[in-house]
Every structure is written in structure tokens, then in C-alpha cells.
Amino acid sequence: MKKIIIFSGTTEGKYLSELLSKNRIRHSVCVATDYGKDMMQESPYAEIYVGRMDKEEMVSFFAKQDQDGSLVVVDATHPYASRVTENLVEATKEAGARYIRVLRKEADAGGEDCRRYADIKACAMALNDLRGNILLTTGSKELGEYLAGCSADTKERTYVRVLPSVESLTLCEKEGIRPDHIIAMHGPFDRELNEAILRQYDIRHLVTKDSGSVGGFLKKLEAAHVCGATVHLIVRPRKEEGVSTKEALSLLGIQTSGQDTIIGEQQEERATAAKEQDRATAAKGQEPFQITLVGIGMGSVDGITLEAAKAIEQAEAVFGARRLLQGLPGPKKYEMYRAGEIIPVLEEEGIRNAVIVFSGDTGFYSGARAMKQALTDWRADAAVRILPGISSFSALFARLGESYEDVLLWSLHGKNTDADIEALAKKAAFSEKTFVLLSGGEDVSKLAKHLMQMGIQARFIIGENLSYENESIRDLSVEEACAFRGEGIPSLLIRNEHPLKKPLVPVKRDAEFIRDVVPITKETIRHESILRLEPKLGDLLYDIGGGTGSVAIEAAGLDPSLRVITIEKKREAADLIRANIEKAGLSNITLLEGEAAALLASMEKPDCVFIGGSGGRLSEIIALLHAKGGGIRFVINAVSLETVEEIRRVLKDYAPQNEEAVQIAVTNLKKAGDYHMMNAQNPVWIFSFTL
């Protein structure tokens, strides 16, 4: 029988231990502190060890635990505990043990207001030049490194949020943090509590790590956005290979099923019992196990199709949100709509014929698709069918007597951040008719303000509480829509009689950028460079040596699906890039401050890379990117013979594909009195190739 050891420093480690205990699997858990031990659930199947170990201590510990060569070590430590992970990798290899790395998924968030740093000391040094109070949420272990980079004034402005443990408080005291600047609390925290702390201490700068959504990272970002605080993010130390919690459980011999877990023989027995029950019910002339996902329209019972009504009437139980269940028949109704809640009820009560109801149509921005996947993952023998309903967009157009084959369909329901609304406004500006599912009336006013800023004079047709007795349809000007504060269930048609014409070649002129004294990649060179990058929908593009941000901004403007990260080490240039991003109104660009070589090590593989400036470290940058995998498209600008020579060496070392080089010399006409003078720019080499 295998011996399992979990090195735990995250919620994932605690969760793994609990599931192993639930399945009566004996295992050991290693935590760094007594506080970590207190957070673990007591169990006769889990043996807890407290204390930090170096590599040699780990090897010795493994030798004592491994009696028959079947040791499995699960690394569920924090994504920023890179030294511990390095020791575990080396120690397991030396001990001949199996190593499983459980990774916490990075959060896809941050945006242009999020400043990124390779380490906490670099962040501290940057904060020295800024004003306002600081909240440090990176923990106590790196407090010394943070203070080594900050001035006395910055330290005085810093409030630290740490775990309420003796170790954390001792470290704070040792580093001279004033007691009234220490917030000792156990997280993760919801958005409201984060907001309260930010307001209580008048925080203008939030320093954090990407601890993932499980670690409360997104809630910090939401609170910072609401309170107007700038987020300073310490990027993860490196890109790691690993598995999810669910995959780790599978590797340990545990299969998850809904909210329960079963192992080996139990799983097989349960599957066999289910099949036998299906055969028995079929022999009695009963229907096999069946779940029907039903779109019931906009909410009123009158809008349900006859097919849907029949399915609901014949079901043993009906599941859904409270609003949707009102007035529906059925002996059993459950106010729940998540698979993790519904599946345990189906199991415990032995329900064979169930209906799960969804608002609107099951094929239009509905949760039906995810629900079907969850149900089929749970039981391969489950017969899942889907019945469509009348969507609010078809109903609204019917009320208006209009067709909708030429309409742009969009949803802000549950995804109505400023970036989402901004992206929609840019689409609606070019569309004659746009239908929008909304999260609430506030979305209408925000969207109207965006369109007004773009000079769009559209009509807002708002359908509230469609299908209900208090149904209403309002036709508002864009100015009137800015003040809309409806409290019902709204749907929106934007009628734009004079839509903008989208340029077929969406390029920017130099005059559209804020320049100052920072160098810019001039428009002719910029257009040609982006053309040679060959970006495609959904690509990730790196712009190294951002300057004014002109290349990144023009590329990002091609399509909102393109993700652009621009890297700039100079503070004045980084500030200028922020200003240009704000002016362009783009949300698919991220600015990273710092040395490219230091930042790239922990970043994911890009699809294409533009290098406008490398600070003399071109070969190192190319090597770092090439190590991430093949197929990356590079475009490099060169104005000096030294850079040309360095590129030549790179080409010789790597033997790239699709290699091209062109020199472009641009001469503009400049009017001087009655004359037109030639104004020549420096010739620029553009090298492009694929590695």
C-alpha cells in the first residue's frame, strides 16, 4: 500500500488531506508552523508534522516514512514558496519517491491599473516614489525583504496584514512595525471586508501576490477597484508544471463524484448497483435515470412551452432559482441551481426523473451547457435532454415587431466589469442593432455614458420584467439612458441608426499618442512591424521595450481577443504607456514594469514577440523565450550596427524559419515657408523570423 505525504501550505493541501481522511486513507501532512497545524482538520487517518525542512531533512524524513518503496509526495505548498518546491523536487528524486505538484490556477485579472514586479523589493523601491498609505498582504516571511527596499517614509505609510500567529507577530515586532499598523487576520477575505480595511486605513496602494481565486486574490482586486487603490502585484516566481486538485486525487486513487469521493472498489460497486437499478426499473416499465434541462422563458409560467410544462409535470423533483420555481407544479421543489448542490440531493433521495429549470433559452448565455457537462461527468449512464425556451431577446423583438437576424447579441449578465462594458460599447458603436442581457439597471447607464463619450447618438429600448404583469418597455435617448436606474429584470436593445464605419486597416497615426521625450516606434515602421508579427485571434503578444506603448496599443486595437503584454523598465516611459492606454480606452493590454529578462522567466509562452529595445540583453531574452517552446514569431527593430550584429549572431545560433529582413528609410515633407523640405528619419532594420 502506498504511503502518502502532503506538504501543505494552501487550501488545496488542507482539502486533499480531508478527502483522504474521508476515504480512510492514512497519510502524513507536513506544515511549517503550529498555526498551519491548527488549520488542519483533526483525523485518525492524518499524522501532522510541524517544522520547516531543508533538502537533507526531507530525504531523511522520507527514508523513515518509506518502508516498501511506494512513497508518494504531494507538493501542495504555496505557488510563491519556490525554494520549498525546489527542495522537494530534489529530495524526492534522491529518495526515489513519486512527486506530484498541485498547482493553484493563476487568476486572469489585473488589467492596466495593476503594476507588476519581479520581486517584493522592487515593488518597495517603486512605492518610495508614490504617495498614500500602503497595505501589504504578502505575508510576514518577506517583510524583511520589503523593508530593505523601502524608505523610512514608505515604512511609516505601510500597514501589514498577516496571519494571527505568534510567528507572524514576532516577525512584525522584530522588523519594527508599529502595533497600530499590524492587521492580524485569517483569510481569505470577501470583497466587503477588503473594502472595509482599505477605507479604514485610507489605503491608496495594495501590495499582493497572485494567490488565485481560492486564495482571495480576485476579491482583493475587486475591492481595490471599488476603493480606487492601485494594485501592486508580485508575479509568480516561475512557470510550473503540475496538476489540479481533482487530477491529484485521481493520481492518488480517488475519483470525485459531485461533492463526494469514492475509491477503487467502492466506485466500481456503486456503478454496478446503478446499472442493476436501471435494469430493474426498466423491467417494471419505468423510465431510466433521466434529467431534463428546461428553459422556461423569461420567468412567467405563461411563457413555458407545452413540451417543457409536460416535463415539469412528470418529474419527481424540480430544481432552480427561487424566482423560476414560483408557480411551477411538482411535488418536490428545491431552490438550488448549482451542480454541486443538486447532485448530492439526487443521490441521497434516489430521484430518477428530475428537471432543472433555467431562465430564457437553454442555448443563449445559459448555464445549461455547464450543467450537462457536470451531470455526464457524474454519471455516464444519465440520460440528459435539453428543452429550449423563449429567450428575452426574441420576446423583446416580437413586442417591437422587428426581426433579429441582423442583430449583435451580447451578455453582461454576471460579467459586467468596466472592461466588459467598454468592450461592448466599442462593438455597439459599429452595429445598427445590439441586444444585451444585463445584470441590472446600472449596466444601462454605464453603457450609455461610454457611447456618449464616443459621440454615438443611439436609442435605448429597455424591456423590464418581460412576461410579468408589471412588464414595461421604455424608449430612451442615450442622454436619458445615462440616468436610468431601473430595479426590475431588464433587457436592452441599442438602436444605432448611424453606426460608425469600422476601418478595414485599423492603424494609428503618431499624432494619436502622447509623446513627451520618450522614443516612439514611428508609424511606418510600426505598421510594417505589426504586419510581420502576423498576430491571430486570441494570440498572446509580448512588446518588449514598450517606449510610448505605440506598438502594443496599435496591436491591441486590432481585436479585443488579442492579449498584449508590454514590458518597460523606465519609470517615465511606463507612466507614459499608462496614459496612452487610458487614452486609447483598451482593456486587453497589461503593462509590466521591470527588466524583461527578470520578468519573462515566470511568464507563459507567447505567440508573437516584438522587441523594440532590449537594453543590451537581446541574446538572453531570445534564449528565455525559446526555452518556453517553439513556434514563436519574432520581430526585432534595429537602428544601430551593434544591434544588427547581435541579431545576426542570434540567427546563426538558432537557424530560425521564415527569416526575413528589410531596411526602411522614411523621409517626410516638412513645409518651411514657401518651400517643402525633406525631413529624413533614421533608417530602421526590421528582422522577422520564427523560432
Which set of grid coordinates corresponds to residue 380? 455516464
What average pLDDT does the chain have? Answer: 84
Residue whose C-alpha cell is 466599442 = 426
**Can you spell out the DSSP letters for 95-156?**
HT-EEEEBPPPPPS---TTEEEESSHHHHHHHHTTS-SEEEE-S-STTHHHHHHHS-HHHHH
pLDDT at 686 over 50: yes
Mean pLDDT of 52-59: 90
Q: How confident is the model at residue 275 (pLDDT cuts 50, 70, 90)?
A: very low
pLDDT at 5 over 60: yes
Q: Which of 125, 104, 89 is nearest to 209 (CA)?
A: 104
Residues 661-683: pLDDT tens digits? 999 988 878 777 877 787 777 88
Mean pLDDT of 375-393: 87
Residues 6+ apart with CB under 8 A from 336: 319, 320, 342, 345
Residue whose C-alpha cell is 498577516 = 162
- The pLDDT value recorded for residue 105 is 66
Mean pLDDT of 481-500: 87
d(CA 584, CA 588): 11
- The pLDDT value recorded for residue 106 is 63
Which set of grid coordinates corresponds to residue 44? 485518525
Question: Can you list the domains of the chain with their CATH numbers?
Answer: 3-104 (3.40.50.20), 114-234 (3.40.50.150), 287-390 (3.40.1010.10), 393-495 (3.30.950.10), 510-690 (3.40.50.150)
Which set of grid coordinates corresponds to residue 636? 526585432
Q: How confident is the model at residue 161 (pLDDT cuts 50, 70, 90)?
A: very high
pLDDT at 375 over 80: yes
Amino acid, res. 27: H
d(CA 684, CA 639): 5
Amino acid, res. 202: D
Beta strands in 12-93 (DSSP E): 27-31, 46-50, 71-76
Residues 532-558: pLDDT tens digits? 999 998 899 999 999 999 999 999 988
Beta strands in 412-539 (DSSP E): 433-437, 459-464, 472-477, 490-495
